[in-house]
Every structure is written in structure tokens, then in C-alpha cells.
Structure 1
Amino acid sequence: MVQLLHGSATTTETVRRAIQARKESVRAAAKHYGISPTTVQKWRSRPTSTDARMGPKEPHSTVLSLEHEAVIIARSEA
């Protein structure tokens, strides 16, 4: 399985799972994986090891108005 990472990702999902599972100190984990202690703390506090979605929460056209976008969607579904 190919894993897509955003441009500034410093860890993979496998490393994140290991960070969450291991009970070593934050400093020791950061040194072991070559990342900052802040990154270790961030991943330990998250409930999952998946990356957050990048981009807008509600994608929309920057060119079309909402009305024009709705017309195009309605035509493509018909």
C-alpha cells in the first residue's frame, strides 16, 4: 500500500502508531525517531494515527457562484 503524505509530514502512519504504543519518555521517543518532542506529544494526544485532512473543510469553486455550481452538478447527475 502506498502512503501519501502531505509536504511537511515528518512521520508515517506506522511511526505514529509506534509513538502512541510505546511508553518511553517524550524525549527518548523524539530522539529515537529523529523528530521533535512536540511532534511526539501531538501524536500521543491524538485518538488515531491518521493524518488530518488538508485543505478546506467545505470545498467550493473559486470561480463559479453557488447557483452556477448547482446547475452544473444537476446537469451532470441527469
Structure 2
Amino acid sequence: MTKSFQPWTNGQVERINRTIKEATTKAFHYTSLEELRSHLRDYYLWAYNSARPLRALKGCTPTGFIVRQWHKPPRYFKDDPGPYFPGTNRNPL
């Protein structure tokens, strides 16, 4: 849902919908809705969070941003977030 009289918000929603569609239904054939849901949950979200730099995070990926925040002073974390993320995001500095 978007706020009234703010067309840029609707444009952002449409852009992310197009990105998801290009990475899923236009690239793969799914035999069921559950197969699409599984692909979104297991693969697409991981790829988006670990491989796509975002302008709002000053060019960091969401995963890299979290790990970078841990390395500043880790006062907001109970434990090291690195093991929760696969790949090479363990030391992004």
C-alpha cells in the first residue's frame, strides 16, 4: 500500500515488482505456486540481501551492512551475525 499523492512511492513498488518478476517467473518455469514461494524464500531473498548493493545503505548489501555495523562497536548485537550469512561477507572492511 502506498500513500496518497506520492507517485514516487508507487514507482518504487512497481520497480521492485519488476525486479522480482525478472528474476523469477520470467527466468524459470514453476509447476506450482508452492515451488515459486520456495524459490523466493530460499534463493531470491538470499541473493537480494547478499549480492545487491542498495543506495539507501550507501552502496552496501543488506548483509554487508549488518556485518559492518557489528564491527563498529557490537553493543546492539548479542552474538556475531557473521555465521548467519553464507559467503564472503564475514569481514567487509
Shorter-chain TM band: under 0.3
TM-score norm. by structure 1 comes to 0.24
Rg larger in structure: 1
Considering fraction of residues, name the structure with more helix.
2
